[in-house]
Structure 1
Amino acid sequence: MTEVRVGDLAQGFLFRRQAVQLRTELSARGQELSTGRAADLTDRLSGDTARLAALDREVALAATLRRNQAQAANRSAAMQAALGRVQSATEPLATTLRSAAAGGLAGELAAAGSAARGAFEDTVGALNQSTAGRSLFAGAATTGPALAGADAMLDTLRAEIGAETEAAGVAQIVEDWFAPGGGFDSSGYLGADSPASPVPLGGGDQAALDIRADAPALRQVLAASALATLAADAALNLPEDTVRALFDTAAEGLGSAGPQLIGLRADLGAEEARIERAGARIEASAGGARRARASLIEVDGYEAATRMEALSQKLESLYAVTARLSRLTLLETIR
């Protein structure tokens, strides 16, 4: 019978423990090789993980700011496009109204009225646009349209005008309705009196996208195009002289609103530039944080592969020695 000695048993345990340690380390090196980052961050950082935690927070904050910046960029671009649509719809209208008022035939007056209605509807449609489910020009009330429908406002104005046929009277009714505190505030503008919240962009910077559909320039554009529309309205059937006079008044209103509208777009353009600069700053900050984080946790692929190869050879050698010892007999020992 072969005698089992305590030394042999202890040696077997030692070999098995070494094999487990080598397999564990080999698995860790394989993980590092596949992921490119240290398997044991606590050991890699000598237990000091505060710097890594700070960098993780910086990267997460940059991601949030990037989302804010992207949303602000999309919103400002949509607002700029909407204001451009208003400008494109109303700028040529002033010329059309002046030409018709100067001596156009009845058909030209009707055509100018139709053009005015189209411009009014386009303006209302542009100011009622939304992006990402948020109304663009309704201030803090971002869940609904900024304005009542074009037909609804024209119906209200038509009822206000009633039997008035004098150009001065009709113009005053429309002007009063669109003036602050008038009917436009109660039933035309549906948004909030407070502006939309500014968008934080980090570093104490923020984007103020606070243009509302009740801004003075937009009130004037709406009032002028609505006046020209109603001047040629068949239901009101105003005298031709009144129509011509109202066309002149509306053209004058559109002319004075033009520079104000350009000013609104210029202010918005300044915010767009601020948002673009913030995007570059946020990306630079995020890139620096990512690089610093990578320097803490990433491993060299060549070094990881070399260590993995060395561990594989060690493990193979240990298995070979273990196998050889398990086959030893007295005869092989004394040879």
Structure 2
Amino acid sequence: MSSLTLSDMAQTFALRRQNVALKTEMQTQQAEMVTGQAADPGRALRGDHAAVAALDAALTRNRAFADATGLAGALAAGMQTALGAIDAGVKGLGGLMSDRTALANDTAVSSTAASATAAFRATVAALNTQVAGQSLFAGTRPDGPALPQPDALLEAMETAIAGADGPAGIEAALDRWFADPAGFGALYSGGGPRAPLPLGAGEGVEIGLTAADPALTDTLKALGMAAMVDRGAAGGAQDRADLMVRAGAALLRADEGRTAAAARLGVAEERIGTLALRHDAERTALMTARADMLAVDPFEAATRLEATRTQIETLYAVTARLSKLSLADYL
């Protein structure tokens, strides 16, 4: 009876292939021992990937909501910071502008008007603040600034009050211009308020404040009214002082609107923070559940690793014995 035998070279290749396969298996088993996770999920799950796929889908949704929550938090914080900057810029200015004693002479009026003009410019800059490439107060058009440059606004306001009769007429003209879609509305380049941001299943947070909101336009109007004094409106000393007092009273009234807007943002920030914590907890739970599904029994993994190590040692021993064979020894 004939038998098939391997040539020396074929036998060498076979041993080498077995050696590589065993070493690869040992590396896989070592990785499982270190990570505690199955290197081959298909084998660990016996081909049933449905549960892990569901967890992966849930983790994907969780990451999307977490990213959206992070962005919403950054936008809300940026808006709150901008409102804080506006408050700091006008702090005490309303009281000073409306205090006739402090406006006893035209020099004091001019100085206060110059301060109001500076505050107007700073307010416009704050309302054009961008975070993460989005203009905070531009509503649904966040890709560009909400307002034009301060000088463009002031020039438009000068045009609007042209021919107005006295301080009362100037104030009324500015009221009409800010309420007119063809007036301030034509220079506001943002969109409507943002829709509530979806930050979870059935969860949304509203941060829709825009530069066109009365809570902010009232501040612009009051500061702009005082800036008109700085630009030569109401030529007589008494009229200049009267217009400044009107602007101061308007700025004091506008403080209430900004405070209310900041309070609404504060509520939104608190809700965003709560949702962020919820997303973190959910992500931890999902990752733990996924890890448990693919977990490796440490004792079983150690047993397989020891068996593979023994196989490798045996292969080395066989290879060494075969390498010592010779024709002289055979004969």
**3-state SS of 1:206 partner:** strand
**2:278 paired residue number:** 281
**1:156 paired residue number:** 156
| C-alpha contact 1:128 1:137 (8 A) present in aligned 2 | yes
**3-state SS of 2:39 partner:** coil
**2:241 paired residue number:** 244
Q: How does 1:1-335 map to 2 (within 5 A)?
A: 6=3, 16=15, 22-33=22-33, 36-100=36-100, 103-181=103-181, 183-187=183-187, 189-192=188-191, 194-234=192-232, 236=233, 238-299=235-296, 304=301, 307-321=304-318, 323-324=320-321
Runs of at least 5 residues in structure 2 that lack an aligned partner in the other structure: none
Separation in structure 1 between the aligned mates of residue 271 and residue 92 of structure 2, nearest angstrom: 31
Runs of at least 5 residues in structure 1 that lack an aligned partner in the other structure: none
- Shift of residue 175, structure 1, vs aligned partner: 1.3
* Deviation sequence 1:25-65 (CA, Å, 0-9, x none): 32421343465531221111111111111111112221221
- Shift of residue 314, structure 1, vs aligned partner: 2.4
- Shift of residue 182, structure 1, vs aligned partner: 5.1
- Shift of residue 212, structure 1, vs aligned partner: 0.7
Which moved further from structure 2: 315-324 or 59-68?
Answer: 315-324
Separation in structure 1 between the aligned mates of residue 261 and residue 76 of structure 2, nearest angstrom: 12
| C-alpha contact 2:19 2:315 (8 A) present in aligned 1 | yes
- Shift of residue 165, structure 1, vs aligned partner: 5.0
- Shift of residue 255, structure 1, vs aligned partner: 1.6
**3-state SS of 1:159 partner:** helix
* Deviation sequence 1:230-276 (CA, Å, 0-9, x none): 02323x36111111211121111112111121110000111101110
Separation in structure 2 between the aligned mates of residue 19 and residue 148 of structure 1, nearest angstrom: 73
Cα gap change, 1:168 to 1:316, in 2 (>3 Å): same
| C-alpha contact 1:232 1:243 (8 A) present in aligned 2 | no
Cα gap change, 1:44 to 1:142, in 2 (>3 Å): same
Residue type matched to 1:267 in 2?
R
Runs of 4+ in 1 over 6 A off after TM superposition: 328-333
**How many residues of Structure 1 are paired with residues of Structure 2 in the alignment?**
325
RMSD (Å) for aligned C-alpha atoms: 2.9
- Shift of residue 206, structure 1, vs aligned partner: 1.6
- TM-score with structure 2 length normalisation? 0.87
Cα gap change, 1:294 to 1:24, in 2 (>3 Å): same
| C-alpha contact 1:101 1:245 (8 A) present in aligned 2 | no
Q: Percent identity?
A: 34
| C-alpha contact 1:91 1:254 (8 A) present in aligned 2 | no
- Shift of residue 166, structure 1, vs aligned partner: 1.1
| C-alpha contact 1:97 1:247 (8 A) present in aligned 2 | yes
Cα gap change, 1:8 to 1:231, in 2 (>3 Å): same
- TM-score with structure 1 length normalisation? 0.86
| C-alpha contact 2:97 2:245 (8 A) present in aligned 1 | yes
Separation in structure 1 between the aligned mates of residue 151 and residue 242 of structure 2, nearest angstrom: 23
| C-alpha contact 1:100 1:244 (8 A) present in aligned 2 | yes
Residue type matched to 2:146 in 1?
A
| C-alpha contact 2:136 2:142 (8 A) present in aligned 1 | yes
